[in-house]
Structure 1
Amino acid sequence: MSTSLLIDVQDVTYTYPVQPRKVGREQESPPVPALRDISVRIQQGEYVVILGHNGSGKSTLARQCNALLLPDEGRVLVAGMDTRDPSCQRTIRERVGMIFQNPDNQLIATVVEDDVAWGLTVRGYAASEIRTRVDSALEAVGIAHLRQLPPHQLSGGQRQRLAIAGILALQPSCIIADEATSMLDPFSRQEMARLFATLHRELGLTIVQVTHLLEEAVYAERIVVMEQGRVLDDGTPAQIFGDLERLRALKLIIPDPLRLVARLRRAGFDLAPGAVSNEEIAREIAHA
């Protein structure tokens, strides 16, 4: 894995703009910053999860990382480019692609393969290059067999894979998934988490996954925990999941497998601290 710095968030504070509104003769209270003096560094090739409950600032931080939002204070550098520089913003967004909650908002064409090709077509790529990239992107997300279908016939998970394929075809350095599984059923959420892990492992992509679900964070190399616009913790999954009570206090739901591991350790079973995914936990229990 490369160790070059890709995203450098430096002392960023951000408050969403609001229109002043009078209530009688009283002015509303000033808005609360969504981010408060945050600093985070993400290396090229890392798989990072930004974890926190709704309102913690995690999605706001994600949008700062590809110039969808710009800092009020501090700065964000992407591969050395300042997100506040208008001349860099298109390049930044091509380097750092984003996947959102609702894939339908990112789907344009009436046929799957045409949707993946759209971003390349508007950028003027040659037809042969478009075909190569579309084939590769569809294979990478596992929906090549659906290429001739209209997107509305796909399941929610398949449409989210299609949205990812459209970003992959542009060959970004990083994909940010902003609560990309929130509209999916539990099985599809697990499939999507495994897909991000596969894209990271096999393609070397930098993955930044924004979620409030601990079960989606187990595949990451690193977890950044947020609360009230600040970074509370930053460490490996084993380090972060080592204090489940603290995570409960942050209004995060502890998955059953992690609760089981905690109970087994209290009962005297010697389970490896790095066992956090379902697969790792099952192996540890089988050999306990």
Structure 2
Amino acid sequence: MSTSPLIDVQQVTYTYPVQRPKGSGEQALQHEPALQGINLQIQAGEYVVILGHNGSGKSTLARHCNALLVPDHGRVLVAGMDTRDTSKQRTIREWVGMIFQHPDNQLIATVVEDDVAWGLTVRGYSASEIRARVSTALEAVGIAHLRQLPPHQLSGGQRQRLAIAGILALQPHCIIADEATSMLDPFSRQELARLFATLHRDLGLTIVQVTHLLEEAVYAQRIVVMEQGRVLDEGTPGQIFADLERLRALKLIIPDPLSLVARLRQAGFCLAPEAVTNEEIAREIANA
């Protein structure tokens, strides 16, 4: 018996209004397509990466998955709830939490633990429930030792973990990370990508990560490749990374470890196609 997807995107089309010059200094309102006939299903408990270069439509698609945007045509169902139904939108956003590029836009309080507690407080949870959830969330993202600090004293990576903790405390079924690592240094980006993988594995959370970086996509169960507002391809990381030239043609930067593996395969080394993380690649090379 099949299970309905947690997120079901059905033939979704969406356009942005854009002002363009039409001569004599006048501006004409035009509509620029951002999504074109998108179909995508995400099952509960999946870890999916939406991959594409800037302007491919991936962030627009992500915002449709928790009703921040609604389709011009088609529909999006979250746990069976239509995102166009304004009476369901708050519930949809409780089910699907969102992490954005700039963590400071999601931080409110002057102390770390108070910031995590804020969403619970405004929803009327008891003090004991708030304390328990705050502690659990801070432990899950690895910053429990920073709970008494003001957020401005945290590093960029720590502030992004704090933003994630604030969402985790609300106990969503799914977290969408929309280019959540783009403001971080390479080490912090890798740390955060591993954190999403850990939250997926240990908490059973559905994770949807939006990125243009292949090194962040290696931890996913499934990658959805977007280009010009359409789903171009989807598959496991091993399947998607099997054709690096195609990814280069999509203006995506190929990480050195994946380039190395491709060259070794061309040289005759038998390396498993599923080896995509640095750890897996190192293990395969050691055993080759």
Q: What is the TM-score when the length of structure 2 is the normalising length?
A: 0.97
Alignment of 1:7-86 (within 5 A): 7-18=7-18, 22-24=22-24, 28=28, 30-86=30-86
Contact kept, 8 Å, 1:99 with 1:175, in 2: the verdict is yes
Deviation per residue, 1:132-172 (Å, 9 max, x gap)? 00000000000000000000000000000000000000000
- Aligned equivalents of 1:120 and 1:101: distance in 2? 23
Counterpart residue number, 1:145: 145
Counterpart residue number, 1:135: 135
Contact kept, 8 Å, 2:17 with 2:29, in 1: the verdict is no
Q: Residue 37 of structure 1 aligns to a residue in which SS?
A: strand
- Aligned equivalents of 2:29 and 2:266: distance in 1? 47
- Aligned equivalents of 2:127 and 2:44: distance in 1? 30
- Aligned equivalents of 1:90 and 1:7: distance in 2? 16
- Aligned equivalents of 2:21 and 2:254: distance in 1? 40
- Aligned equivalents of 1:46 and 1:83: distance in 2? 20
Q: What is the TM-score when the length of structure 1 is the normalising length?
A: 0.97
Structure 1 residue 3 displacement after superposition:
5.5
- Aligned equivalents of 1:215 and 1:228: distance in 2? 22
Contact kept, 8 Å, 2:49 with 2:210, in 1: the verdict is yes
Counterpart residue number, 2:222: 222
Deviation per residue, 1:178-219 (Å, 9 max, x gap)? 000000000000000000000000000000000000000000
- Aligned equivalents of 1:23 and 1:138: distance in 2? 56
Contact kept, 8 Å, 1:176 with 1:209, in 2: the verdict is yes
Contact kept, 8 Å, 1:112 with 1:149, in 2: the verdict is yes
Does residue 251 of structure 1 match 2:251?
yes
Matched residue count:
287
Does residue 178 of structure 1 match 2:175?
no
Contact kept, 8 Å, 2:76 with 2:83, in 1: the verdict is yes
Q: Residue 183 of structure 2 aligns to a residue in which SS?
A: coil
Q: Which moved more, 1:10-19 or 1:88-97?
A: 10-19
Q: How many percent of aligned residue pairs carry the same amino acid? A: 85
Structure 1 residue 58 displacement after superposition:
0.1
Aligned-partner residue type, residue 263 of structure 1:
R
- Aligned equivalents of 2:60 and 2:262: distance in 1? 32
CA RMSD of aligned residues (A): 1.4
Contact kept, 8 Å, 1:75 with 1:83, in 2: the verdict is yes
For structure 1, which runs of at least 5 residues remain unmatched after alignment?
none
